[in-house]
Structure 1
């Protein structure tokens, strides 16, 4: 078992643990005698729709997924739209979802299939805003360094679908939401901006986030946040009396599945956390120090050991950005931190199969990549947020294609035992 094969097998196990087709049936309610409408949005939502129809047969509904992430279904319509920046296809589908939910009665069921990415895919602007306004806000958020929780507070208050508004549209029908978590802490009100979940944040919170991150927005967008259309439905809204939410897959289960693979090969797994946030390159440097401590001093565990973590780091873009995403930038920061160290390998990938601006899941770093690498080029790539190009040059990219799930980032750092151990 080479380090590279171990890391890839651990990643495969993490993906398998988050397979919606396995997770969804456990949480499906009994199919009611009334009308059933299935709606949803996210990177895992097409696979979730397949799981529903495998149990219930063909269903009425609309689910929005990123381009290239569609799957065949029996009755549910799968719409492809843009991610992470909204487009007209997502806006139109979101409006159709609202119209469909508004036709339900108290005898009906709205089954909502929500996963990460749904916030930009199901993007219907609040009254007074346009799609162009939403695109502008998303671009500025993605470059700001804001955490996903902060991003989604602002998105909720500028939307006609997020922050519980779909539950309001479906009332008085029963609303059951099945969600796959891609956020630190597994808070369903943050996942895809919580379209069916009551919102405890306020428009005032959104304005504070704009100020904190120095996000420059036009006056008419700020006016929405300061007006009546900028507030979201709160927990005491009657629509939520018949609404329930179940998390069917989450990062922790994937980390635990990966740890079992390590144990199978006699490697000690150390799960550092499923909700690690912060600047990607800095997190990489910190974990490089932890790996070195294991190698040099056998702390907090003796090699062979593997550090496993999840969560969502951020990349604050300075200047003109190159190619890549937070996983590859994390790994490049890590690689520079362990440069020259033998017996340390790492993998960092997004479980949805796409890391940032390109179509790779992430990257891998080990002896094969180090043999081809130039430290000056690595430093230059990191300064330009161009980690993709660096790992491409050393044959270190990991390509999976769309995985049809999304439980955030997966990172594994393997420290081999030395000959003396």
Structure 2
């Protein structure tokens, strides 16, 4: 039964991700695109940038030139007329900065008859960056925000004010050219100004909020950075049209359909999951305990969203791996339940895994190898614990990015 659950998990993962690949989403969004009388240039940023750009160029051969900025190992080949760059994520690096400079150089000379086709996906906050403070300090602040447990909205509220492209500033640079922005959402509720920190969207966050976040997490900032938190971002943009296409809701629906095809009764718990990864894992395990002995039907409980990890240890992992490993404690001894959690982009934290899988045998398998699950959780080392018991889910870069999906299967 356990091996059957793992096979079902792998099928659901593949079908779910295939259903939210950006090709069709970009095609849908381009139906509303109206080019000006001038030229069209393409700028794509984010983990799904290559896939989105490749789809757009196939649909619009009159794109004159463009640039893609995506994560390392996410470029899957040449795109005619497009320069493809890879850069750092989740912490921006010099390649992020240099690629963004190329994008800015591309749009600055454009006139009012020209159009920028701007393709944006999650991860763009790190990949698409022109810092207003030294790059090393921006990297340090990003690391502080990732480690303190701040959520993505809080992180982006800070990053907008330290950047020359975030919070609507990229659209300002592109003016007077029109910007047609196609956005693949990776943030709960699809707030346009927070996805990749909203380079082409008027910013709804305020200086006061940014300063409160900095104080709440006791961020170590230079005087220059603190001063920037007090400078307001653009609140109006007249040259931008934005279209959201793809989101975690579609990912949850796809997981539900895939589970149903396998004979499970799917229950979507939420597409707004936002809590500590450990708590989410424990919660799913508690549902398993309540339902695993009823035995009259196969159930799939589905939660989409994005959890957070409060880094206390020095181990290796990501939020999805930590969620799965945390669930293993409650699943221990159950013969008919499993939990898996994956990032739709195929990468979970700074690892090569998309997420993790755990079932009723995970704890005992670790014990047989002399490994204490609690020590690994305390050290935020879910990757190495799951690796030891074949609990890593590895898909490779998928070309999309619409949050995470976590599933409890009861057979």
TM-score using structure 2 length: 0.94
Name the structure 2 match of 1:223: 227
Q: 4+ runs of 1 displaced by more than 3 Å?
A: 30-33, 367-371
Say if 2:60 is the partner of 1:24.
no
Report the counterpart of residue 241 of structure 1 in structure 2. Answer: 238
Matched, 1:181 2:182: no
Quote the residue 1:282 is aligned against.
279
| Partner of residue 366, structure 1 | 359
The match for 1:212 among 208, 216, 222 is 216
1:283 Cα deviation after fit: 1.4
Would the aligned equivalents of 2:47 and 2:399 in 1 still touch at CA under 8 Å? Answer: yes
CA contact (8 A) 1:59 1:74 kept: no
When structure 1 is superposed on structure 2, of 65-74 and 145-154 the one drifting more is: 65-74
SS at match of 1:62: strand
Residue in 2 that maps onto 1:351: 344
Listed one character per residue, the Cα deviations across residues 115-150 of structure 1 (whole Å, up to 9, x for unaligned) are 010001111112xx1111210111101101000011
1:341 aligns with 2:328: no
Match of 1:312 among 306, 310, 329: 306
Q: What displacement does 1:357 show?
A: 2.1
> What is the TM-score with the length of structure 1 in the denominator?
0.92
Structure 2 residue 233 is the aligned partner of structure 1 residue 232: yes
List aligned pairs for 1:284-303, cutoff 5 A.
Answer: 284-296=281-293, 303=297
C-alpha RMSD over aligned residues: 1.7
State the shift of 1:370 in Å: 5.1
Find 1:380's aligned residue among 375, 378, 382.
375
Instruction: Tell me whether 1:64 sits opposite 2:69 in the alignment.
Output: yes
Q: Which moved more, 1:57-66 or 1:146-155?
A: 57-66
CA distance, structure 1, for counterparts of residue 24 and residue 148 of structure 2: 36
Is the counterpart of residue 7 in structure 1 residue 1 in structure 2? no
2-side partners of 1:105 and 1:31: how far apart?
13
Distance (whole Å) between structure 2 residues aligned to residue 385 and residue 256 of structure 1: 30
CA distance in 2, matches of 1:69, 1:85: 16
Q: Is the contact between residue 108 and residue 173 of structure 2 (CA under 8 Å) also seen in structure 1?
A: yes
Match of 2:263 in 1: 266
**Deviation of residue 303 (structure 1)?**
3.5
Contact 1:40 1:64 in 2 (8 A): yes
1:77 maps to 2:83: yes
1:115 aligns with 2:121: yes
SS at match of 1:410: strand
Structure 2 unaligned regions, length at least 5: none
Q: Is the 8 A contact 1:144 1:316 kept in 2?
A: yes
- How many matched pairs? 403
Structure 1: segments with no counterpart, 5+ residues: 417-421
SS of residue in 1 equivalent to 2:188? coil
Aligned match of 2:247: 250
Match of 1:393 in 2: 388
Which residue of the other structure, out of 49, 59, 62, is the alignment partner of 1:55?
A: 59
1:419 maps to: none
Give secondary structure in 1 for the equivalent of 2:89.
coil
